[in-house]
Structures are given as structure tokens and as C-alpha cells.
Amino acid sequence: MIRDPELLDQLIDTISRFVRERLIPNEARLAEEDAVPAELLEEMKEMGLFGLSIPEEYGGLGLTMEEEALVAMEIGKTSPAFRSVFGTNNGIGAQGILIDGTPEQKAKYVPRLATGELLSSFCLTEPDAGSDAASLRTTAVRDGDHYVLNGTKRFITNGPEADVFTVMARTDPSNKGAGGITAFIVEGDTPGLKRGPADNKMGQKGAHTCDIIFEDCRVPAENIIGGVEGKGFKTAMKVLDRGRLHISAVCVGVAERLVEESLNYAIERKQFGVPLAEHQLVQAMLADSKTEAYAGRAMVLDAARRKDAGENVSTLASCCKLFCAEMVGRVADRAVQVHGGAGYMAEYAVERFYRDVRLFRIYEGTTQIQQVVIARNMVREVS
């Protein structure tokens, strides 16, 4: 659902120029320094990128799902780590508070998330609970007006820098399933919250993750999202549709960038006396990548429009995440192949993207989890 096409076109044009003129020229610096340059971070805040999906009443841009998807496709045309720094504020870091938080919680945190004053993070995954998130072991025990949290969260995006964490912890030890889990807002300077060393990852340099350790961490009872125990896992699941569509849109943007890189190289590079682009087997790789990127774009926009129309798109969101995450991996592989030996060299963007896109098949639910979700929903609908 696009409310004002002219305003949206202006926003997309502004972001496209920002990507082209500011982010792409700094991709190598981002990877080398393993950090988003401070001046670019400030520009992102000024542009409102931390509040894309946050309602206008809280200082955000209040984009619909379709509008957000189109913006994410533009942002996807540069290194994914640039998006990662503000993506959590728009997604799982803020949406849980927006959907299920109390009016007081929304007023206290969401406006500062929208401006980027606060950097958010989402703590669900644990050393022994990844895809099986309902089996998490972090505990929260009531002690007067506080809960005492103990446990470890793993691979937490923005963990080293985050100011506020949405933390899933088990408040009912007798309930080993999802119903025993509660969502807490935990501020980053809370005593007992410790950050592990930053993880050394395969790709996406500049997007930082680490372990978050809770050792007798006392959190006010008023920081339970929504003020009710046992609703945390449901809160986490509610934000996934939007998150999966957002990541799918980013995958489409990356794929389109890789198609462009491959095409330009194939036109400029000559073999056997003619440009690579004139060799039919190279043309086949270019054509396959273009077709798959287009299919991903069509899928995401269709699902986004349906979500804006009020439909339940859980199955479609998983379909998009499954296809687009796998698709961009194939496109990245072909991009390296089109570049030949040059594609294996760090001086070319496709080498970095080849490593960066591998993560898309893992986070926000692995490919295999998407397959399970899709199939179970199909069976449930028939039954």
C-alpha cells in the first residue's frame, strides 16, 4: 500500500543517492575498519533511517510494509552491514514494544529508537537454543519489584553497542514451552548485564555481534513488555512477518546490485577477442540472475501489499524469506563465476558480497525453519 507515490519517490531517490554517493564509496573502508564510519551513522540518523517503520506519532516515518520493502531494496544495493546498524531499531528491536508494549514503555523508548538516540538489540538465541527458540534457558525469577535474570544470549546483533535490549527469559520454570517465556526491556547499563567479545564473522564486517551474559541482572517488573508474564514468545513471533519481508527485500536489493556488477564486468572484460557478455554461457548466468532477482522483487511486493491489506501473511513471508535468501546466494555465486579469477580477489565487491549474503540463509529463521513453517501452515489450513 503506497499512500503518497510522489513523497515515496522522493524518499527512495534520496536514499538511492545516499547509497550511491556515500555508502558504496565507503564499502571497503567499512570492511577494513569493521565499523560504520561515525559521520555516516550521523547522516543515517538525520535521514530518519532509524525510524522507517516506526509510526509518525513516535517520531518515525511510519512506512507501510510495501513502502518499507521498496526502501529496503534500495538500501540492499550496498554492504548489508550499513543496513544492520539501523535495521534492528526498525524491526525486532522496536516492533515488540510497539505491538505489545504498555503506553508508558512506548513513550519512554520508541521516540528515542526512531531518532537513533538509542540503539536496540534483540536477545532470543542462546548457545543451546537457536532455531528451537522455545527451549531457551535464560531465567527470570521474581524478587519483589524486580526480576533477576541469569543466562547467556548468543550472536546478538548490535550487542557490543546497544543501549536497550529486548530479552526473552523463562519466568515459569514449570512450563518448558513457549508459554513460560516473558519479554523484558533491559537497558544496556543495567548491573549484571555483560557483553562478550565481538564475534569474528565470515562476512558482514561492520555489523557487530557478541554474547550477552546476564549474571543476577536485576530488571524492574515494570519492564515486562505489556506488563504480563508468559507472552514473550508470542511477542517475538508477531514481529517475524515484517522482519522476514524486510530481509527478503534487502536480499532483492543485493541481488540487483550483483546483477549490475556482473553485467558491467561482462561488458568491459574481453576473452577470445570479444566481451564476456557476448559468450552464450555467460549470458545464461546473467539471464538466470536477472530472472531470479525479478522473481524475488515480485514476491516481496505482493506479500507486502497483502500484509498492508490486513491479510495473514505468515506463510507468504516465510516463502519470501526462503526464496530470496537462497536466490541471492545463487546470484552471488554466479557473480563470482562471471568475474572469473577476479571474482576471488578482495578488490572486487563480488568477493565481499559472496561472504556477506551467506548469513541471509541463517538469521530471521533458517531456510530449513522456513520450510517447516510453510509446510505446517499448509497442512493446518487444509485441516
What is the spatial distance between Cα 202 and Cα 223, in angstroms, rounded to a whole number? 35
Query: What is the sign, positive or negative, of the torsion defined by CA atoms of 372, 240, 330, 299?
Result: positive
**What are the angstrom distances between the C-alpha of 68 and each of 8, 61, 297?**
10, 10, 13
Q: Is 364 a catalytic residue?
A: yes
CA 350 to chain centre: 21
Burial class of residue 5, CB neighbours in 10 A (0-12, 13-18, 19+): exposed
Burial class of residue 348, CB neighbours in 10 A (0-12, 13-18, 19+): middle
What is the spatial distance between Cα 122 and Cα 308, in angstroms, rounded to a whole number? 24
Q: Compute the half-sphere exposure of residue 53: CA atoms within 13 Å on the CB side of its CA.
A: 27
Q: Which residues pair with 167 in a beta bridge?
A: 123, 184
Burial class of residue 172, CB neighbours in 10 A (0-12, 13-18, 19+): middle
The active-site residue out of 66, 67, 351, 364 is 364
Please check whether residue 80 is in contact with residue 204, taking contact to mean a CB–CB distance below 8 angstroms: yes
Q: Where are the alpha helices (DSSP H) in the chain?
A: 5-18, 27-33, 38-47, 65-75, 80-90, 95-100, 103-115, 232-238, 240-268, 280-308, 314-339, 349-356, 367-382
Pairing outcome for strands 120-123 and 164-170:
parallel
Question: Catalytic residues, which ones?
Answer: 364
